[in-house]
Structure 1
Amino acid sequence: MISLSLKKIAKITNGKLYGSNLVINKIVIDTKQVVPGCLFIVLIGKKFDAHNFIENAIIKGCAAIIMQKNIKCCISYIIVKNTSIALGDIASWIRQSTNAKILAITGSCGKSSVKEMTSSILKQDGNTISTIGNFNNHIGVPITLLQLTKKHKYGVIELGANQPGEIFYSSKISRPEVVLINNIYYAHLEGFKSLLGVSKAKSEIFSGLKSNGIIIINLDSHHLSQWKKNISQKDIIYFSIKKKNRAIFFLVTLKFTYMVHLLQYIPRREK
């Protein structure tokens, strides 16, 4: 990640710093990943509260902590309103501080395979980061973006969700130059209620797309008409298996090789 001072981090997160203004080179959210000198962000979930593990993080050598509760520590710490949002704010700042071109991928199925294939191809052209495993939610996406440095040329970010609003948030943080909706099928219906709900959730990926960005859509997707009114002014590339006569048809390798050229082309089109 890009080195940041605690004073800068406090400003990014609208937090209040207590203690020394240290320089941070690593951020973690799990005490198992704590190393000497890192910043530990204390998250709160439905079934856990990492404030209970602050002492353990300090014993392991973390240099500073971001937390919601005003717990006095023997090391530097920052108090924020919401640690999860603070994580996203830091990731967003780092993403905007690099020149890496981001390709965001979502879909009901196959997105991890698409992510791996795309990342493998882009790595042939320059330093590339990609989502680790299935870290594709509102916590995993920021964790991936924190890896970015000035040396990275590309980032392949998988955006997943179990409920409405998650992809909207992740896309806003990622600010992609290219977005791909791989497909829309019946998945996570408990969170989205219907296939139309799934379709609307996946379309949230458009929210963070840069003004001169490119959209790649599977023309075979359900409820495609729901998206068209919101993306009519964007550059769109369609691919299809069932509707070859109505779409640009890519073989798998050709499709993702073409993405490389799209990403290289974008800088020359910026206003």
Structure 2
Amino acid sequence: MISLSLKKIAKIINGNLYGSDLIINHIVIDTKKVVPDCLFIALIGKKFDAHIFIKDAISQGCSAVITQKKIKYCISYIVVKNTSMALGQIASWIRKITNAKILAITGSCGKTSVKEMTASILAQNGKTISTTGNLNNNIGVPITLLKLTLEHQYGVIELGANQPGEIFYTSNISQPEVVLINNIYYAHLKGFKSLIGVSNAKSEIFSGLKNHGTVVINLDSHHLSSWKKKIQKKNILYFSIKKKNSVTFFLVILKFIDMVLLLQYIHPLEQ
């Protein structure tokens, strides 16, 4: 993580700082991962409120806290309206000041495997971070981005969702240069209602794509035509198992690691 002062963090998240200014080198949301001099963010979820663990975090050595209410402990802390949003704001700020190129991956299935393979390939060319396990939601993605440093060259971020709006949020935090939709299938229909709902949710990944970014799409995907308006001004590469002349995903990765001379003669398929 890039070191930040509490004053700087308070400015980033529009919070009120109480106590002394400190330099923060590590941020945690789990008391089991508290290390000396870290910043603990007390998140509130549907089934938990981490504010009840602030005392534990302090006793284990954290030096500051982000909270949604004033606390009586003798420690520096920042009060915000929403601690989950604060986590995302810090991660987004760190992402913006780094030079790392970010590839964001989503899809109904196989995205974790693709993420692992992609990160392994990129790691051969430069320092790379990627989401670990299935930490691909509105909490896991910011936690991954917090690990970025000025030395990182690449980041491979998996974006998952159970309902509409989640990928829109994580994509805009990640601000990727390249986005990949691996596939579209029937999944998480309780939140998405239909295959069209799944397609619309996955297409939210385009919202955070940087200007002049690249979209990588499985040409065999369902509802591909519904994405045309969202990607018409983007660089597009297609890959396919069924259709000839489409580029392979491995060539896409080569493009991502700046092997432009190899790929400049490969033209994406016209739809």
**Would you call these one fold, judging by a TM-score over 0.5?**
yes
Q: Say whether 1:248 aligns with 2:220.
A: no
Q: Is the Cα–Cα contact under 8 Å of residues 42 and 65 in structure 2 kept in the other structure? A: yes
1:45 counterpart letter in structure 2: G
Q: TM-score, normalised by structure 2?
A: 0.94
Shift of 1:260: 2.2
1:122 corresponds to: 122
Deviation string, structure 1 residues 137-195 (Cα, Å, up to 9, x no partner): 00000000000000000000000001100000000000000000000001111110000
64-73 vs 136-145, which deviates more? 64-73
122-131 vs 65-74, which deviates more? 65-74
2:101 corresponds to: 101
Q: Is the Cα–Cα contact under 8 Å of residues 237 and 252 in structure 2 kept in the other structure? A: no
2:237 counterpart letter in structure 1: I
Shift of 1:230: 1.4
In structure 1, stretches of 5+ residues that fail to align are 266-271
1:200 corresponds to: 200
2:169 corresponds to: 169
2:257 corresponds to: 260
1:223-242 matched pairs, under 5 angstroms: 223-242=223-242
Report the Cα distance in structure 1 between the residues aligned to 2:91 and 2:144, rounded to whole angstroms: 8
Report the Cα distance in structure 1 between the residues aligned to 2:260 and 2:208, rounded to whole angstroms: 16
2:80 corresponds to: 80
1:248 counterpart letter in structure 2: S
1:147 corresponds to: 147
1:171-190 matched pairs, under 5 angstroms: 171-190=171-190
How large is the Cα RMSD of the aligned pairs?
Answer: 1.5
Q: How many residues align?
A: 262
Q: TM-score, normalised by structure 1?
A: 0.94
Report the Cα distance in structure 1 between the residues aligned to 2:181 and 2:163, rounded to whole angstroms: 17
Report the Cα distance in structure 1 between the residues aligned to 2:212 and 2:259, rounded to whole angstroms: 11
Q: Is the Cα–Cα contact under 8 Å of residues 128 and 156 in structure 1 kept in the other structure? A: yes
Q: Is the Cα–Cα contact under 8 Å of residues 177 and 263 in structure 1 kept in the other structure? A: no
Shift of 1:264: 11
Sequence identity (%): 74
Report the Cα distance in structure 1 between the residues aligned to 2:145 and 2:261, rounded to whole angstroms: 20
Q: Say whether 1:159 aligns with 2:156.
A: no
1:259 counterpart letter in structure 2: F
In structure 2, stretches of 5+ residues that fail to align are 263-271
Report the Cα distance in structure 2 between the residues aligned to 1:68 and 1:13, rounded to whole angstroms: 12
Shift of 1:248: 1.2
Shift of 1:241: 1.1
Q: Return closer, same or farther for 1:3/1:263 CA change in 2, 3 Å cut-off.
A: farther
Q: Return closer, same or farther for 1:99/1:255 CA change in 2, 3 Å cut-off.
A: closer
2:43 corresponds to: 43
Shift of 1:255: 4.3
Report the Cα distance in structure 1 between the residues aligned to 2:134 and 2:120, rounded to whole angstroms: 17
22-31 vs 255-264, which deviates more? 255-264
Q: Is the Cα–Cα contact under 8 Å of residues 182 and 217 in structure 2 kept in the other structure? A: yes
2:266 corresponds to: none
What SS does the corresponding residue of 2:257 show, helix, strand or coil?
helix
Q: Is the Cα–Cα contact under 8 Å of residues 178 and 263 in structure 1 kept in the other structure? A: no
Shift of 1:69: 1.9
